[in-house]
């Protein structure tokens, strides 16, 4: 297991939770997702968030535009 403190923290967006600041990463090894230790902007809660739920926040100067809402997939009925 490895625990890495991020300095400076990284502004992230957590799927279904909102914006926050990731200040550490926990790596349990190749069989597990990274866990991002994140302080949420709204409410100050701290969550250990699995890697697939973490996105970089939009940053116009870095060329990262806000994500567009995806259209729901509808399975074809045959």
Residue 63's pLDDT is: 73
Strand partners, 8: none
Q: Is there a domain that residue 74 lies in?
A: no
Domain count across the chain = 1
For residues 7 and 22, the answer to whether their CB atoms sit within 8 Å is no
Q: What is the pLDDT of residues 15-64, one digit of tens each?
A: 999 999 999 999 999 999 999 999 999 999 999 999 999 998 877 777 77
Residue 57's pLDDT is: 84
Q: Is there a domain that residue 41 lies in?
A: yes
Strand partners, 14: 18, 54
pTM, rounded to two decimals: 0.77
Domain with 42, as residue range(s), is 2-58
Q: Is there a domain that residue 72 lies in?
A: no
Q: Is there a domain that residue 51 lies in?
A: yes
Q: Is there a domain that residue 63 lies in?
A: no
Say which residue, 63 or 74, is predicted with more confidence: 63
Residue 76's pLDDT is: 58
């Amino acid at each position: 297991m490895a625990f890495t403190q991020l300095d400076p923290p990284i502004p992230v967006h957590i799927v279904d939770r909102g914006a926050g600041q990731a200040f550490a990463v926990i790596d349990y090894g190749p069989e597990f997702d990274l866990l991002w230790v994140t302080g949420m902007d709204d409410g100050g809660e701290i969550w250990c968030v699995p890697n697939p739920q973490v996105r970089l926040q939009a940053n116009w100067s870095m060329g990262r535009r806000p994500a567009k809402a995806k259209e729901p997939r509808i399975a074809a009925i045959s």
